[in-house]
Structure 1
């Protein structure tokens, strides 16, 4: 397993062992890859597994500060029964973006930082809250169609000539803040990643992802 990722392979002790392994690749992006994106990665992985789906969910930072997740990130996810103590920060690169079916940045800057590595990802890179908001208008992915068809439909609903998303779609950086701020960040990310898991899970079965 590479740093900044959750291993999608089932193990005998895995509650999702024996359930469906998909080719879906979701990349979470923030700045240092020590707070928001690793929490979002672990939470989405958790929600997908609870729904019986295993996918590649990984994360990176536009800066990639190096080192483990912050102690508060580890603590607030441990409170939810999710381990983050083995995470190691890494910097985003072109291969990560090119290979991802869905790129989810915590802010506009993270979407822009992802597109520097692969400008063609413009129709599959979103602020994390943006993809949930747009999906309320478009609906979930259609089973049997490539996921990237759905992301293209989402991107088409953006306001033309404007930066991606809205300020309300962003997730603020909790780094350096007390534990209660991290808890609020985790709560926000938990709701968003659960909504994304609900959107994805039905359509991921027996369909191509590219």
Structure 2
């Protein structure tokens, strides 16, 4: 989510969907909106060009405004900046533990060490990230915001692109790490050949399922 749903949030939406399609995770339904969007408008031409450079098609994107209906169906809400997070929480205070800025979400997942149960349990992933908020904060205040490049210099647009891509790549990388079950490692091992090896493999599988 961003302000106009014309630059930051559509780029994040399409990039996150594309990156997740390259993994074997069960992807969530991904959409975007703006806190002050005028519905039905196209994405800004410059972000459409940036999207093409990343293999994304933003030509058909049309803006939409954030509303209660959209939030009611959201498992996790990722915002461009802290001001958008405050807007979401003003509307739905109960979404405190599932609403983040996109850079904050990537940072919190990077700090999470325990696996998360389930291949597609994105709500559990959000709860795991939320638990990290109780730990001491690293970095300067405001470094979790994604800059708004509208009417800004080329350098600001470059910063937006760099930070947006880094955040999305971080989210996907850590989602794969945290949501991948331990038993997945068995698929890369040679198949058991003897009864002893079969019993050992079965015991490892049963142990992994019990811990999940």
User: Of 89, 94, 104, which aligns to 1:115?
Assistant: 89
Aligned residues of 1:48 and 1:197 also touching (Cα < 8 A): yes
Q: State whether residues 32 and 63 of structure 1, in contact with CA within 8 Å, keep that contact through their aligned partners in structure 2.
A: yes
* Aligned-residue offset at 1:141: 5.0
RMSD: 2.6
Corresponding residue of 2:167: 192
Mean CA deviation greater in 191-200 or 104-113 = 191-200
CA distance in 1, matches of 2:141, 2:132: 13
Task: Say if 2:21 is the partner of 1:46.
Answer: no
Which stretches of structure 1, 4 residues or longer, exceed 3 Å deviation after superposition? 52-55, 178-181, 201-206
Check if 1:156 corresponds to 2:128: no
Once residues 144 and 63 of structure 2 are traced to their aligned partners in structure 1, the CA distance between those partners, rounded to angstroms, is 24
Q: How many residues get paired?
A: 175
**Match of residue 175 from structure 1:** 150
Larger gyration radius, structure 1 or structure 2: 2
Q: Residue 76 of structure 2 aligns with which residue?
A: 102
Query: Which one has the bigger strand percentage?
Result: 1
Please list the CA deviations of residues 22-78 of structure 1 after superposition, one character each: whole Å capped at 9, or x if unmatched. Answer: xxxxxxx10000000001111101100111454311100000133110000101111
**Cα distance, 1:205 vs structure 2:** 7.4
What's the secondary structure of 1:60's corresponding residue? coil
Please, which runs of 5 or more residues in structure 2 have no aligned partner? 182-212
